[in-house]
Structures are given as structure tokens and as C-alpha cells.
Amino acid sequence: GAVVSQHPSRVICKSGTSVKIECRSLDFQATTMFWYRQFPKKSLMLMATSNEGSKATYEQGVEKDKFLINHASLTLSTLTVTSAHPEDSSFYICSAASGRARLSYNEQFFGPGTRLTVL
């Protein structure tokens, strides 16, 4: 199956700093990437969808100025948590899908996740 990597796997930062998380599709071109957030022992919540070369589409309730998403190439998307605070501490997971065709099944391949801890 296709491989998606995330970097870093774990990050600890001080309150007020910004943190960048990278999501890469290693062996396929990902026209669409997704960012999910997972609280401890909770479900995954879709934060935003990004298509290569376009602005990200954010889900309701997600602050776009807080969570900056860039999808500059077909293999890389980045999530930047700006001015991070303790309540931003969470597990962030990306997924990637290839293809743009309507009605086609574009399987999403998940990255291993990034644990963010804001002190």
C-alpha cells in the first residue's frame, strides 16, 4: 500500500510558539490531503481538506488563522499551529488521497500521526 509519513512524530513546545508539522506521500502523488485531530481516547475530527495548489477548506469551528495549511506540492502538505496554547495539545493525523475523478474511490492513506504537547 501507499506510504504517508509525518514529521515530527512528537513535539513539545512552549506556549506562544508556532509549530510546523509535515505530511508527505512517499510513493504516490496526493492531489488531496486531509488533517485530522484526535484527543486522547477520542475520535478523529476532520480539521481541513487541502487540494494541491489551492487554499485549504476548513471544517466549521476550526480557526484558519490558528491552523495554517499549505499544500504546495503533490507530495507535501504542512500544518502550522500558530501561537500554540496548551489547549492545542493533541494528536494530529494527516491522510492523503490521489486522483481527482468524481465517482471514483480515492482511498485515503494515513500518516502515523504527530503528538503535540504545548507547555
Partner 1 sequence: AQTVTQSQPEMSVQEAETVTLSCTYDTSESDYYLFWYKQPPSRQMILVIRQEAYKQQNATENRFSVNFQKAAKSFSLKISDSQLGDAAMYFCAYRSLYSGGGADGLTFGKGTHLIIQP
Of residues 14 and 41, the one with the C-beta less far from partner 1 = 41
Per-residue contact flags (x/-) with partner 1 for residues 63 to 102, judged by CB under 8 A: ----------------------------x-x-x-x-xx-x
**Total residues contacting partner 1 (rule CB under 8 A)?**
28
Give 31 or 78: the residue with its C-beta nearer to partner 1: 31
108 sits near partner 1 (criterion: CB under 8 A): yes
Q: Is 117 in the site for partner 1 (CB under 8 A)?
A: no
Q: Which stretch binds partner 1 (CB under 8 A): 10-18, 40-48, 62-70, 78-86?
A: 40-48
Give the span between the Cα atoms of 119 and 86, in whole angstroms: 6
Nearest to 58 by CA among 74, 29, 87, 35: 35
* Measured distance CA(45)–CA(48) in Å, rounded: 9
Place of cell 506556549: 15
Q: Which residues lie near partner 1 (CB under 8 A)? A: 31-32, 34, 36, 38, 42-46, 49, 51, 59, 91, 93, 95, 97, 99-100, 102-103, 105-108, 110, 112-113
